[in-house]
Amino acid sequence: MSTIRRGPVPGTEQAAHGGQAVKQKYGPDFYREIGKKGGLAVKEQRGAYFYAQIGKKGGESTRAKHGLEHYARIGQVGGTAKHKTRRKEKTPATPDTQG
């Protein structure tokens, strides 16, 4: 026996519009709250180790799709961005510390 799915077909313009209606009605905090609830439920049901497993699978998939060079590129970009952020956070030198 097949089940009848209500609502628009996923991926269609009507489905996107429905998502916007929910977003307008409940706001972005609604999505944060239900996402957090869902994540906690999965963690309780499957354990924290589950997240390590799916992270590993995701990393393997990314490596297969983009190659090891991808990690070198994003590492450089991340390192550069982090370095720039650190510079901005430093306080200006005072006259007695310059020298």
Identify the pLDDT of residue 95: 56
Q: pTM for this structure?
A: 0.46
pLDDT digits (tens, 9 = 90+) for 3-55: 787 888 888 888 878 778 888 899 989 989 999 999 999 999 999 899 899 99
In which band, very low, low, confident or very high, does the pLDDT at 58 lie, cut at 50, 70 and 90?
very high
Q: Is the pLDDT of residue 92 over 80?
A: no
Q: Within 10 A of 96 (CB to CB), how many other CB atoms are there?
A: 6
Q: Does residue 63 sit in helix, strand or coil? A: helix
Q: What is the pLDDT of residue 99?
A: 46
Domain borders along the chain are: 20-88
Check: CB of residue 21 under 8 Å from CB of residue 7.
Answer: no
The candidate with the shortest Cα–Cα distance to 53, out of 67, 61, 90, is 61
